[in-house]
Amino acid sequence: MLTLLFDGVAYGMLLFILAVGLCVTMGLMNFINLAHGAFAMLGGYLTVALMQRYGVPFLMCLPLAFLASAVVGALLERTLYRSMYKKPHLDQVLFSIGLAFMAVASADYLMGSQQQIMQLPDWLRGRTELFADTPFVLGMGHYRLFIIAVCAALTLGLQYVLSATRFGSRLRASVDDPRAASGLGINVNVVFAATFAVGSGLAGLGGALGAEVLGLDPTFPLKFMVYFLIVVAVGGTTSITGPLLAALLLGIADVAGKYYIPKLGAFIVYTLMIVILIWRPQGLFVRLGGKS
């Protein structure tokens, strides 16, 4: 029982890290980036390649995955995405889904179509059981524990940056009213570019962390696009806490659903999403007062 909850939380945390970048670009910058998963895939492949071919330790790979995805994100933002900000949403969707397909094809070409297999260091492989032989037995895979720890730290960090630092307030100002913000001397372009890069970087980090649990093959961006969009749709796009709770809810519901009703397992998540969206079409958590 507790084990299930634990697995669900770990899964949810992972989804959150993967999707948070999308929340930022979609909610704050009002840009629909369906190619978001491609950045996650980049991080994942980079980690696998570094570990397998160059023997880089796993812990080193994580920041590298973040950096590489962020740099690629920043480059693409400069060259491709920028011109799409002002376009209608349909154009953005078509453009970014095209990018996603290109990423799938490139990954297939470069790395092959098979599932990538990652070898974790030994200290992350074990499993600890608490309260064994009681109904409340809690089995924790060390790797999942690690995921939860990393993701929780990141969430706190993000929350802090967004709500308590100068950059956070600039970002919020740029989003609420770009014209007024630039009038006040904020370089809106730089703020957006940095935000986009960090969002992509987080996706890359999520991909690196998730390669072990979620599997990694060239269809990754498309396979998880649905999950990202559910997190964003259910959580609302205007805060960090919304998507976090949505991701946790999704993770726990998915795991519990598959455990208790395996035959319906795949549907639980979607049913939940529909119910929530009927109940609150704007998502669970909506910040009032912003321009939307």
* Residues in touch with another protein (CB under 8 A): 3-4, 7, 11, 108, 112-115, 117, 119, 125, 127, 129, 139, 141, 143, 212-215, 217-219, 223-224, 227, 254-259, 262-263, 265-266
Count CA atoms closer than 13 A to 43's CA, side-chain side: 35
Tell me, rounded to whole angstroms, the distance of Cα 228 from its chain centroid: 7
Task: Output the smallest distance, CB 21 to another protein, in A.
Answer: 18
Tokens of 151: 């993701």
Residue 170 or 258 having the CB closest to another protein: 258
How far is Cα 183 from Cα 265, in angstroms, rounded to an integer?
Answer: 52
Task: Output the smallest distance, CB 39 to another protein, in A.
Answer: 17
Residue 80 or 105 having the CB closest to another protein: 105
Task: Output the smallest distance, CB 161 to another protein, in A.
Answer: 29
Task: Output the smallest distance, CB 34 to another protein, in A.
Answer: 17
Count CA atoms closer than 13 A to 197's CA, side-chain side: 15
Task: Output the smallest distance, CB 19 to another protein, in A.
Answer: 13
17-39 burial, b at 16+ Cβ within 10 Å, e below that, comes to: bbbbbbbbbbbbbebbbbbbbbb
Task: Output the smallest distance, CB 114 to another protein, in A.
Answer: 5
Residue 11 or 196 having the CB closest to another protein: 11
Task: Output the smallest distance, CB 266 to another protein, in A.
Answer: 4
Residue 1 or 274 having the CB closest to another protein: 1
In what helix (H) or strand (E) does residue 129 lie, and over which residues does it extend? strand 127-130
Residue 113 or 165 having the CB closest to another protein: 113
Residue 49, judged by CB atoms within 10 A of its CB (0-12, 13-18, 19+), counts as middle
Count CA atoms closer than 13 A to 127's CA, side-chain side: 10
Q: Measured between alpha carbons, how far is residue 72 from residues 40, 69, 134 in Å? A: 11, 5, 49
How far is Cα 53 from Cα 233, in angstroms, rounded to an integer?
Answer: 39
Residue 14 or 193 having the CB closest to another protein: 14
Residue 201 or 218 having the CB closest to another protein: 218
